[in-house]
Amino acid sequence: MLYKWVNYGKGWKPRWFILQDGVLSYYKISGPDKILVSQETEKGCKVIGEKSRRIISGHRDSFSNNSLTNRKPFGEVHLEVSTFRQSKSHDKRFSIFTGTKMLHLRAESQDDREAWMEALQAVKDMFHRVFHSKVVAPMMDKVAISTEKLRQRLVQEGLDSATIEDSEQIMRNEFATLQKQLVLLKQKQWLLIDILQQLEVSKG
């Protein structure tokens, strides 16, 4: 859990932050849009902060099938394109700049802030290594796709040129979406490989 600065009227508000796959998502833990957190919902996650652990323990019996499926983040930060820095005037605060907005955050303690900064930097470093590797780089190039056979088939069916062009564009859009999904899956795969390699190095 971290405190997020909202505005001068509302001040600092507690938010539940989850760092996964290079995305820092945050949720409300109070009010009508709050989410429930428990040992079941956060299983397998590294929990930072004593207060976060108390919140999880306090909701031990509140888990339901909807606790995970209905989770929609109140906001997201993609670390790939973000920068972050610690406050020099306050030992619990740090900020994240996304390129379009600035998030001001406050931890419960200086140790918690250090733990968050280490986690954010570790993910940022992994993305840097993966995205600049020779293995992933070729996948980022666009693959050419031909719609000639589709056009010929539609011409045989007697369709007008406007309908044919729309069909070709739909095919291109679907292919582009699929390509993006494949690239993301490949990036996740290499992130996992990188994590395993780092674990092996630390064990050695």
Q: What value does the mean pLDDT of the chain take?
A: 80
Domain chopping of the chain, boundaries: 2-132, 147-202
- This prediction has a pTM of 0.59
d(CA 55, CA 43): 14
What pLDDT, on the 0 to 100 scale, is given for residue 65? 45
Better pLDDT: 130 or 124: 124
Task: Report how far residue 44's alpha carbon sits from residue 40's, in angstroms, rounded to the nearest whole number.
Answer: 9
DSSP at 144: P
- Residue 204 CA to residue 201 CA, distance in Å, equals 5
pLDDT digits (tens, 9 = 90+) for 159-180: 999 999 999 999 988 888 888 7
Contacts of 3 (CB under 8 A, 6+ apart): 12, 13, 14, 15, 105, 106, 107
For the domain 2-132, what is the CATH code?
2.30.29.30
Tokens 């309908």 map to which residue? 163
Lowest mean pLDDT among 37-46, 91-100, 112-121, 186-195: 186-195
